[in-house]
Chains A and B, each alone.
Chain A
Amino acid sequence: MKLILSEEQQFLKDTAQSFARDKTPTTHFRKLRDDENTKCWDDSIWQEMVQLGWSGILVPEEFGGSDFGIAGISVIMQELGKTLTPSPMLATSVLGVSAIKLLGSNEQKKIYLPKIVSGETTTALAIDEGNHHNPFDIEATATLEGDKWTLNGQKVFIIDGASADFILIVARTSGEKGESNGLSVFIADKNSKGLEVSQISTADCRNYANLIMNNLILDENALLGEVDIAGEVIEQVLDLGRIAMASEMLGNTEEAFEITVSYLKERKQFGVLIGSFQALQHRAAKMFCEIELTKSAVMAAMHAADENSNELERLSSLAKFQAGETLHLVSNEAIQMHGGIGVTDEYDIGFYLKRARVAEQIFGTSEYHQARYADISGF
């Protein structure tokens, strides 16, 4: 495994960089926020991304995608992260596509994947039920009666949950809370009877929802793949999500750092540029080191995923951990080094802080991944 980008991946990255710079600078996000846009992403921008093929990067060619792999989508997420560009990429093109691709029958793939590639459909993954990410702490149930499934329970903090056309719901078909066995994944139309989706309002002003299932009745073929055995694949889907998320967070970090270093070179106090103060220089240099480590961890994780490496779990946890730790550090330091202007809403740097804390929670905090890494490594 070489820790560099292929020509193809570099091309995707360059394209995404120009796209974010030209079409979705941070003013784009600010406007969506100020307009209180429910989706918190822009339909026409998403359709342009679809035209570039980004919706189908993980989709096999036979279903209309390009099959460029998680590295391909991660480098795009990184560039979009720099300008805080919201889009359905994570929930639909990474999580939705991976779950359907890895779990679904050929029939189900034919139904959903081409519609995702064409930009006609978006999805969301409903998994967490508590205040903290834990993919196996699932109490929501699904029971089969005749040829219908009945689902009951609740889900929280669903990314893009407020806008998705279809929601992938992880429910327990057997076993106890905490077990990875006995989990199954269902796909439900957002308008299904018995499904109540309510948007929540988060600090990063993105699109999340909670949902309640009160005798949600689904057809037999709403079950993705086989019953009871989705646990392992769910972990795999989440690992891909964690890598894509870590990549976006790396983009957030790089830009917040860049903005801050530029500020150190223009802000004067006591008659000199504040960037000449060693107290600030050394902190900036330490951040630089952590960012370099993050780049390497993310790069290793995305290549491991695309090469089906048995190191995927460990590297995905390393990437999410390192990206979370670094973004946490840089988002705090960015505010502090900006001084007063850093805590004003008018200035963009605060957006990065708010996005950071939410991103850190998504699919497991640093603490979660530290514990997971220790277990996998046998420490």
Chain B
Amino acid sequence: MSNLESFRQEVSKWLEENCPPSMRTPLVPEEEVWGGRNAQYVNPESKLWLERMGEKGWTAPNLPTEYGGGGLDRDQTKILHQELYKIKARPALNSFGIWMLAPCIIEFGSEEQKREHLPKIIKGEIRWCQGYSEPGSGSDLASLSTKAEDMGDHYLVNGQKVWTSYADKADWIFALVRTGPQEPKHSGISFLLIDMASEGVSTKPITLISGKSPFCETFFDDVKASKENLVGVENSGWTIAKKLLQHERNFISNFGLAGGGTGSGADVVSIAKKYLGEDNGKIAHPGHRDNITLHKMKEHAFGLTLQRSGDEGGKASAASSMFKYYGTEHNKDRYELMISSMGNKGLGWAEQGFSDDEQAITKAWLRTKANSIEGGTSEVQLNVISRRVLDLPS
């Protein structure tokens, strides 16, 4: 038996013994686990599941064991995911800390920062949010103006961030701040970790076209941040910021396949058959059927491209721009096809006249409009491909 096969058996046995029964049932939104100091567990088994997975480091399977990660290689990580999928296990932990911050701390953080932050991220003890965009800095992120003044032993932070997801629930924020106001715009930015419990930090939720959202505005009013929480070198935060955006893009581009964003993971073909009817097992309307087939074929080819990228060793960088661009545009297309297949049933806002699933799809459709804006707009991704991959002149 190969090492991988015996690893698979080990994983399967451990999951059998440790994944609580209710954690193998479909996820209900109230029971989604994000961890943190103030986490509420509606279902005690989700807490248990997080503790067991966190102890094993399998919430972050590919991070090194010395910082609490699983220490698994690429193939082992894949096996773990396959086995989790096999038993339909719920995610033990959703975490911006794991998805975005941890890879950057590994690459740019000091030894002290790794020891301080990584274990708490992996165990879900501290919940993080991202402070990047500002009201005046969207696509032109590097023009950001939230300032951090050097006060000797600490920075004094003043300014405002926007689109900070779950800022009202997060314990810490990783933020881009301006430390070099005299420097050219890319060279005056630093990457700073700030405790959200600090005096002077406040948040306010944002309502979207799709309704309630996790997004917030976050305000910093004379907030003191200790200097040991600067990641990397002062004024060189832009390098870290770009790297982190790649991780974010990779994460968002999976929406194209997962049916993600918010709400329903509904399949466009079954939706079409349900609302348009079937003709000998086929989607009854030929025009809708053609449009949906085209969409599914693109999805198939895109899925194969993600797989190929992994098989080639997952060289990220510019490829992440392609995945972000294609995945989010594809996801928008999916929801357009879905509501169009549903006819007037795809336009519900509240419960009068519409089922919960129908309302969820309408809301999800609206929410997908932000997919190609957040994490760098589609236009920015196309710029990145033009410049970095095709080497076209600026």
Contacts and interface: CB of A to CB of B under 8 A. Distances in A.
B242 interface: no
Nearest to B386: A281
Given A276-B393, A370-B294, A288 B385 contact: yes
Given A293-B305, A374-B289, A318 B300 contact: yes
Given A261-B390, A284-B390, A374 B304 contact: no
Given A289-B325, A370-B290, A374-B289, A297 B304 contact: yes
A241 interface: no
Contact of A284 (B281, B311, B381, B392): B392
Interface string B22-55: 0000000000000000000000000000000000
Contacts of B282: 374, 378-379
B228 interface: no
A379 B289 contact: yes
Nearest to A322: B301
Interface residues of B, number: 36
B2 to A, nearest CB: 16
A370 B390 CA distance: 30
A172 B303 CA distance: 40
Interface in A252-307: 261, 264-265, 272-273, 275-276, 278, 280-282, 284-286, 288-289, 292-297, 299-300
B1 interface: no
Interface residues of A, number: 37
A321 interface: yes
Contacts of B394: 276
A316 to B, nearest CB: 12
B390 A288 contact: yes
Contacts, number: 106
Contact of A293 (B289, B298, B386, B393): B298
Contact of B312 (A4, A293, A371): A4
A3 B311 contact: yes
Given A264-B392, A275-B393, A276-B392, A292 B305 contact: yes
B74 to A, nearest CB: 12
Nearest to A275: B392
B382 to A, nearest CB: 4
Contacts of B381: 285
A252 to B, nearest CB: 18
Contacts of B118: none
A282 to B, nearest CB: 4
Contacts of A296: 301, 304-305, 307-308
Contacts of B391: 265
B389 interface: yes
A282 B386 contact: yes
A377 interface: yes
A334 to B, nearest CB: 14
In the complex, which of the residues B293, B294, B307, B383 has the most CB atoms of chain A within 10 Å of its own CB atom? B293
Given A282-B379, A379-B292, A318 B297 contact: yes
A300 B301 CA distance: 9
A276 B393 CA distance: 5
A281 B383 contact: yes
Nearest to B325: A289
A322 B294 CA distance: 10
Contacts of B293: 370-371, 373-374, 377, 379
B383 to A, nearest CB: 7
A379 B283 contact: yes
A217 to B, nearest CB: 43
A321 B297 CA distance: 9
Contact of B301 (A288, A293, A378): A293
A48 B302 CA distance: 38
B201 interface: no
A3 B333 CA distance: 26
Interface in A356-379: 370-371, 373-374, 377-379
B301 A294 contact: yes
B156 interface: no
A273 B391 CA distance: 12
B392 A4 contact: no
A300 B304 contact: yes
Contacts of B322: 288-289, 292
Contacts of A278: 383, 386
A342 to B, nearest CB: 18
Nearest to A297: B301
A285 B305 contact: no
B269 interface: yes
A153 to B, nearest CB: 32
A371 B289 CA distance: 9
Contacts of A261: 390, 392
Contact of B308 (A4, A275, A321, A378): A4
B296 interface: yes
Given A4-B308, A264-B392, A296-B304, A289 B326 contact: yes
A303 B289 CA distance: 29
Nearest to A300: B304
B388 to A, nearest CB: 10
B297 A322 contact: yes
A201 to B, nearest CB: 34
Nearest to B313: A4
A284 B392 CA distance: 9
Nearest to B321: A285
B302 to A, nearest CB: 6
A254 to B, nearest CB: 13
Given A285-B389, A373-B293, 7 more contacts: A285-B325, A285-B390, A288-B385, A292-B322, A299-B308, A379-B282, A379-B283
15 contacts: A3-B308, A4-B308, A265-B393, A281-B390, A282-B382, A286-B382, A292-B305, A293-B301, A318-B301, A321-B297, A374-B290, A374-B293, A378-B282, A379-B269, A379-B293
Interface of A: 2-4, 261, 264-265, 272-273, 275-276, 278, 280-282, 284-286, 288-289, 292-297, 299-300, 318, 321-322, 370-371, 373-374, 377-379
10 closest Cβ contacts across the A-B interface? A281-B386, A296-B304, A285-B385, A3-B308, A293-B301, A374-B293, A296-B305, A285-B382, A275-B392, A282-B382
